[in-house]
Structures are given as structure tokens and as C-alpha cells.
Structure 1
Amino acid sequence: MSIEIKIPSVGESVQEAVLAEWFKQDGDTVRKDEPLFVIETDKVTLEVVAETDGVLSILVQAGETVAIGAVVGSLAPVDAEAAAAPPKAEAAPEPDKAPAPAPTPPSAPAATPAPAASVDGIPLAPSVRRLVAEKNLDASQIQGSGPGGRISKGDVLLYLEHAPAGIPEAPSSPVAATDPTSAAAMEERKPMTPIRKRIAERLLESRQSTAMLTTFNEIDMSRAMEIRSLYKEAFQKRHDVSLGFMSFFVKACVAALKEVPEINAFIDGHDIVYHNYQHIGVAVGTPRGLVVPVIRHAEHLSFAGVEQAIVDYVAKIRENRLELADLEGGTFTVSNGGVYGSLLSTPILNIPQSGILGMHKIEKRPVVVDDQIVIRPMMYVALSYDHRIVDGKGAVTFLKRVKEFVENPERMALEV
């Protein structure tokens, strides 16, 4: 008896999802726990695996929007399919089939180089191979975001979106191929993904529903870099995780939030809700958009605990295992635009939160220390806050405390 494949629930607030990509084709034999397809909602991207061994029957094609709980395919028992296989072999003897390969000329249009079936040993999904062939791409140049670096159709589309204009494309007609000014060559229209739609809605809502203001400061990263350099090997050996700068800033924010609790609070109607805990969201960029997983009770975590939480979330994002619960409940957010080379920016509030800290690129600059001009590795930091609940004094105090803690990390250990 066939087993139905349904769109799983990812949270009470999510009612539908886009079936982004099938990893298998109709009729393929799959094994238990093998990835079948990926769904995208307005909050998360989730990979769905097979509940049992079976032969796949696809009912809903990739790209369609389906309701949570909808049946998108089924798995027939492998034994039943295998039993039906021998008669097919007898009905189509090999000798009679021999002449059949002759009409291969129809496949002549596929004279373009056949795409690789795998990259670095990782197989490509049929839909990915087709798209790579259509666009005449080198799959080895595409960064995969799936499990183990698997390349998804979304990764290919993202590559095309950011790739140089010179990438060759399979010509649909001689005119389109020779006329770079044609409408088809000049523009491309794509529907927004659910996550991108949600990001757009949230950012617009944040700008319209809060009295957002940003204050800036700069941090001398010399001491933090020195400590990281001195202890990174011992830290790695003891905790089995690398020591990064994010843990310095998360711990500094936790300490500063305790001193300026309104930045850790929400406005709810005519009330202010204060939180006696620090759930710190860490913004992570993905090929499909920005997600902000939450490090819960960061006030109870060590540097190693913070770094491990971040590593775990990055792994879940890469493997499409991030759950809706991982994104909920944050009271403050830290965003590091410096990893992309940003020198200075104004982060937008992640509502209903009242504050977000923006980290930026570390750059050597001349600064005055003890009346002497010296070269130091400096980082600009920005705190965006809701001015309805946070006064300028509180915002500046918070940012100064973060600066003091990061410039002198020992203070966090001593709690002074």
C-alpha cells in the first residue's frame, strides 16, 4: 500500500508553502531518510525526507504553492514495484529494441555539452542538470547551499542573478542570440520567494511602525584580536569550536542589556514588556534571504556556548533543517555586515524588538591614543533603537558599554 507524502507543519502561523525543488524524479526508488524535496515558507526553508523505502510518485510539481498537510506525492512499496518489473522486461525484448536507438537525431538540439551529473562527488538533481544545460553553465562554479554542499535549483538561479552579464545562454532564436538590446536579453522577471516577500513586509512594517533612530561609535579591536590570537588553539582543542568575534559582541550585549533593560523590552499596546532574560538573535545571510536564529538565554552561556550555538544554527541552515521555533522569541539582534565588507550601515529593527546592533568591517585607521597618533584595527558599530521606548541617553550608554567590554574583554569575565 502506498504511503502519502505530505507537506509538514512548520508552525501554527504558517498555512502554505512553495514546493521549491524535488531531488528525485517520478518513478525513482528512494531510501528511508533520503531527501525528497525542499519547501519554502515565509519564514523557513525545510528539507523533507522519505519516511520509508519506496518508489516515488510525484503529484505536485516544483514551483507550486501548496497548503500545509497537502499530499504532493506517494511512496509505493519497493517489493510491489520489483514484482511488476520482470513482465516489462519480457514485453520489451532486447533484440527488438535494438533498432530503436536509431532515431536519436531528435536529441541533436542538445548539442551543447552535457552537464556533469555530479560536482565533487555530490549528485545534481535532474532539475538542476536541466537548468545548468539550458544556461550552458559550469556547475563547479556554483556554491551549493544544500546538505553536504548539494546544489539546488535556487542556487543556480541565485548564481545567474549575480553572475556577470557575459554568461552564455542557450539561444531561443537567432535574433535573440545576436541582438543584446532585445527585450528578452535586457530584462528578466522572477516571482519573489516566500522568504523574500516576508523580509520585504517586515522591513517595511518596521520603518512604518517604529520611531527608529541610530547612534554610532567605534571600537578598538586590538585587545579582542590579541586574546583571540593567544587562545584560539587552546579554545579549539578544549571546546571543539573556533573562537570568533561574534561571541565577544553577544556577551558584551548581554552585559549592556542588563544595565539598559529598555533596549531588551517590547512595546505591547500601551504597555512596556521587560524581559529578565536575553534571547539574542544573530542575523545570518543565506542564498534565499536573511534569517535570524535566536540564541536562547545567552546570559547563561559561556563564549564557547555562544560559538557552538552559532555553529549549530549555520549547520541547520545549510542542511535546510532550521525550524520556525529557532527564529522566534528573540529580544535583541546582532547583525554582522562586516563579513561582506560593509564599513558602515544603519540596521533596521527586527520588530517587535527595540534594538539591533550592527557590526562592521575591521579596518586599520589612525587614531589618537594618549595624545599620540597610532594605527589601530577599528570597527564602526551602529545601534538602531525604537525612540518610543529608548531615550538617547540609554542608547548611547548601551553602545559605550559594548565598546568598553569588547575593548577590555576581561571586564566581562570579572563582571565589572
Structure 2
Amino acid sequence: MAIEIKAPAFPESVADGEVATWHKQEGEQVERDELIVEIETDKVVMEVVAPETGTLTRILAKEGETVQSEQVLAQLEQGAATGAAAPAPAQAAPAPAAAEDDAEGDVPLGPAARQLVEEHQLDVSQIPGSGKNGRITKEDILKYLKERDSAPAPSPAPAAKAPASPAVPESPVQPSGERVERRVPMTRMRAKIAERLLDATQSTAMLTTFNEVNMAPLMALRSKYKDQFSEVHNGTRLGFMGFFVRAACEALKRFPAVNASIDGNDIVYHGYQDIGVAVSTTDGLVVPVLRDADFMSVADIEAAIRDLGVRARDKKLTIDDMTGGTFTVSNGGVFGSLLSTPILNPPQTGILGMHKIQERPMAVDGQVVILPMMYLALSYDHRLIDGKTAVQFLVAIKDLIEDPARILLQL
């Protein structure tokens, strides 16, 4: 019985997707709920699994092709392959495969594998294939590159060449003279990120205001309770993001304009705080959302951020995780950033940037004291938020962080 394998149903905010990677090839046996193909959209990578156990008989959408919501991607013949039937397609397959991949020295290559071969200029004859009929898959090439890079460099060769030209001084410049360039297509997600960032700078009146916060009280609180916090909350680590998200929620309640958005000629004031948290992944920056963050405790926020971060790195985020958000918090300090101007995430009108904690001499009651200080940056859309409101909002966050009890008492 033939079964159609379709692309997921995309939400209204996602127009289409692109076939990223086929994990199974035509003729291969698949198990129920086994990953078959990944579809990359503007926001997330969506996984398509096998609806039943059977044989993948036909692939209708190749890697790199654009597909629509619920478009048929492949056909699956339901039922486990029998011992007598399995060898038959295997014997008939080599001839067309070799003809199709004649440009690669008669070694069968998938589209993703071919791209990696071209990028790294690899000799395919040196790569063992694990796919059907010796087909080299993307995973085979990644494994080969990993083993090649981790292999120790041979030492006998330089020792043998050294005596051959003792009179020639050693040059600090590489003698090859090659100027290598590598061109790779931008991923769909990376292209969308670039488009949104460019749109934010061109379609908003973005301005950034700065302040600095003394982190000593919060660091002392964290140092005192972090072990007990982790023990009580099932291993959840006590960080700074939980306090900053809570502080942002309290400040947003006091200054609703920072929690609003512009829709045409209308201003939409949100009566809730859905906080986006910027997370860095290998594919670029993503901003999953903490729903109703104003009702979450510090422990709830820390646990949720950790879960979102793990799922972002594993490409397990859903469209729902990425949509919405009324305000964003970005922590560039984890990468060592001392000061930056974060870019708005439209249609939001504000984003808070945290930075590296660094000890600096500060004047306190006429005395110079060394304190752990952090620069805070608030980028905002000046079309909606006045400078006075932006400064007062940032000062409110500063006051809450410098006296964490205010967060709990909502002062």
C-alpha cells in the first residue's frame, strides 16, 4: 500500500519551506516515526518522520527545492521488505546511479553530499559509502572530515625534507601562494535573519540609550543561594537571566509603551508580557518566546530558558516557540561583549541588551570603590517611545537589579 509523505502544515507566518536534508534515499527501508527529511523554513527546521514502516519508493522533492505547506514529498510502500524482495532493487539500482553520478567518477552521491565534496574539494574515492549500492551520504562525508581533521599530522615528512635545503632560510610566509576562497549558498534561515535585521534598521526610528548597573548585590545573592537553589529546583542553575526577565516584566507594566507594537497607523498595547530571549545557534540567532513571563518565577524562567536553548541547538524549536513576543532580552555578555546597540525585533518596539560584567573603579560616597559593573542598552522605536520613557524604563530595570528584593516585592 502506497502512502504519501507530505510536508508539515506551515502557519500563516511561513509562506513556504526548503528541503534541507534527506536522511533516507529511494529504496531504503524506514521504520515508523523514523526521521526521513528535514524542511528548513524562515524560522525553524521542521522534521518529517515516517508515518508507517515500509520502503521509500520515490522522492518527489529533491534537496534544495522549495515546497509548499502539505506538499507531497515522497511515496512510501507500507510493510517490511521480505528477504526475497529486498535484493532485487539493489541489483537493478547500480546502473542508473552510476550514470547519474558519472561526473563524480562513477561514485554515487546525494545532493547534500555532492555540495560538501565541492566545498572541501574531496577525493570521493577515499570516502567509504554507507548508503545503498555504496552511495556516499552527507553523514559519511561529515564522518570522514571529522576523522581527517582529528588525525595527528605525520612527523617523518618534515624531518626528511629539512636536510635537503639547509642553506635556504625559513620564511614566515606560507610558500603555497594559494588564495583560497569558498562560496556557499546562504541558508534560508540566515537569509531571513539578514532580511529582518535590514528591515528593522530601515523601517523603524531606532535609537539606543545606555546605563550601567552595579551587579554586586545580585552576584552576592546568587553566590549565597545558588547551591540551595539548584538542589530545590531539580538541578536548575541560578543565573542572571531570570532576574533580568523578571525586572523587564515589572518595568514593562510601568511603561506600557515599551511593551506595545505598531500596526499600520494603530498602536497595539499588550496586556501581557511575552519575553523573547535571544539564543545563538550554528544557523544564526533565534528568539524563542517565554509566554506570560510575568507569571513565571525566577526558577521557572531559568528552567524554560535552558530548555529553549537546548532545543534551539538541537533544531527542535517549533513555529509556536518562535512567534509572538512583546519585548526581547539579549545577553551578548556571555560572548564577552562590553557594549553594543541591539537591533529591534519588529513589530516589537524595545529590546534590552545585557553585556559583560567587568570590575571598574566607581565613585561611591566620595570614595573610589572597585565594583562589578554591567552596561545596559535599550534600543527602542522612537516613533512610539519618547526618550524620557526609554530612560525611565532603563533606570527602573537598573533599580530592580541593584536591589533584587524590589523584584519580589514589586516595588
Where does residue 330 of structure 1 map in the other structure?
A: 325
Q: Is the 8 A contact 1:24 1:126 kept in 2?
A: no
Q: Secondary structure of the equivalent of 1:403?
A: helix
Deviation string 1:234-256 (CA, Å, 9 cap, x unpaired) is: 22222222111111100000011
Where does residue 46 of structure 1 map in the other structure?
A: 46
Where does residue 181 of structure 1 map in the other structure?
A: 178
Structure 2 stretches of 5 or more lacking a match? 93-104, 108-122, 131-135, 152-174
Q: What is the CA distance between 1:403 and its match in structure 2?
A: 0.8
Where does residue 356 of structure 1 map in the other structure?
A: 351
Q: Is the 8 A contact 1:347 1:384 kept in 2?
A: yes
Q: Is the 8 A contact 2:55 2:81 kept in 1?
A: no
Where does residue 212 of structure 2 map in the other structure?
A: 218
Q: Distance in 2 between matches of 1:80 and 1:133?
A: 30
Q: Is the 8 A contact 1:132 1:138 kept in 2?
A: no
Q: Give the alignment of 1:292-303 within 5 angstroms.
A: 292-303=287-298
Q: Distance in 1 between matches of 2:128 and 2:372?
A: 49
Q: Is the 8 A contact 1:358 1:381 kept in 2?
A: yes
Where does residue 13 of structure 2 map in the other structure?
A: 13
Amino acid at match of 1:201: E
Q: Distance in 1 between matches of 2:282 and 2:127?
A: 27
Q: Secondary structure of the equivalent of 1:203?
A: helix
Q: Distance in 1 between matches of 2:192 and 2:127?
A: 39
2:237 to 234, 239, 242: 242
Q: Distance in 2 between matches of 1:296 and 1:334?
A: 14
Q: Is the 8 A contact 2:127 2:141 kept in 1?
A: no
Amino acid at match of 1:192: M
Q: Distance in 1 between matches of 2:364 and 2:25?
A: 65
Where does residue 269 of structure 1 map in the other structure?
A: 264
Q: Is the 8 A contact 2:37 2:48 kept in 1?
A: yes
Q: What is the CA distance between 1:349 and its match in structure 2?
A: 0.8
Aligned residues: 355
Amino acid at match of 1:205: D
Q: Distance in 2 between matches of 1:343 and 1:402?
A: 18
Q: Distance in 1 between matches of 2:324 and 2:25?
A: 39
Q: What is the CA distance between 1:269 and its match in structure 2?
A: 2.5
Q: Is the 8 A contact 2:29 2:55 kept in 1?
A: yes
Amino acid at match of 2:385: V
Amino acid at match of 2:289: V
Q: Distance in 1 between matches of 2:233 and 2:10?
A: 32
Q: Distance in 1 between matches of 2:33 and 2:313?
A: 17
Q: Is the 8 A contact 1:32 1:50 kept in 2?
A: yes
Where does residue 138 of structure 2 map in the other structure?
A: 127
Where does residue 408 of structure 1 map in the other structure?
A: 403
Amino acid at match of 1:2: A
Q: What is the CA distance between 1:343 and its match in structure 2?
A: 0.9
Q: Give the alignment of 1:245-324 within 5 angstroms.
A: 245-324=240-319
Give the 3 Å change call, closer, same or farther, for CA 317–106 of structure 1 in structure 2.
Answer: closer
Q: Secondary structure of the equivalent of 2:80?
A: helix
Structure 1 stretches of 5 or more lacking a match? 93-104, 118-124, 141-177
Amino acid at match of 2:187: T
TM-score (norm 1): 0.78
Q: Distance in 1 between matches of 2:284 and 2:395?
A: 31
Q: Secondary structure of the equivalent of 2:333?
A: helix
Q: Give the alignment of 1:350-389 within 5 angstroms.
A: 350-389=345-384
Q: What is the CA distance between 1:272 and its match in structure 2?
A: 1.8
Q: Secondary structure of the equivalent of 1:128?
A: helix
Where does residue 347 of structure 1 map in the other structure?
A: 342
Q: Give the alignment of 1:156-171 within 5 angstroms.
A: none
Q: What is the CA distance between 1:8 and its match in structure 2?
A: 0.7
Q: Distance in 2 between matches of 1:380 and 1:31?
A: 52
Deviation string 1:9-55 (CA, Å, 9 cap, x unpaired) is: 23123232111112233333222222222211112112222222222
Q: Is the 8 A contact 2:10 2:16 kept in 1?
A: no
Amino acid at match of 1:79: A
Q: Distance in 1 between matches of 2:323 and 2:89?
A: 53
Q: What is the CA distance between 1:179 and its match in structure 2?
A: 5.6
Q: Is the 8 A contact 1:112 1:136 kept in 2?
A: no
Q: Secondary structure of the equivalent of 1:84?
A: coil
Percent identity, aligned pairs only, is: 53
Q: Distance in 1 between matches of 2:3 and 2:176?
A: 51
Where does residue 34 of structure 2 map in the other structure?
A: 34
Deviation string 1:78-127 (CA, Å, 9 cap, x unpaired) is: 435545137789x99xxxxxxxxxxxx998x6564769x8xxxxxxx931
Q: Is the 8 A contact 1:364 1:375 kept in 2?
A: yes
Q: Is the 8 A contact 1:25 1:126 kept in 2?
A: no
1:231 to 225, 234, 237: 225
Give the 3 Å change call, closer, same or farther, for CA 64–81 of structure 1 in structure 2.
Answer: farther
Q: Distance in 2 between matches of 1:139 and 1:281?
A: 38
Q: Distance in 2 between matches of 1:236 and 1:74?
A: 49
Structural RMSD (CA): 2.8
Q: What is the CA distance between 1:380 and its match in structure 2?
A: 0.8
Where does residue 173 of structure 1 map in the other structure?
A: none
Q: Distance in 2 between matches of 1:342 and 1:199?
A: 21
Of the structure 1 ranges 6-15 and 126-135, higher mean CA displacement relative to structure 2 is found in 126-135
Amino acid at match of 1:126: T
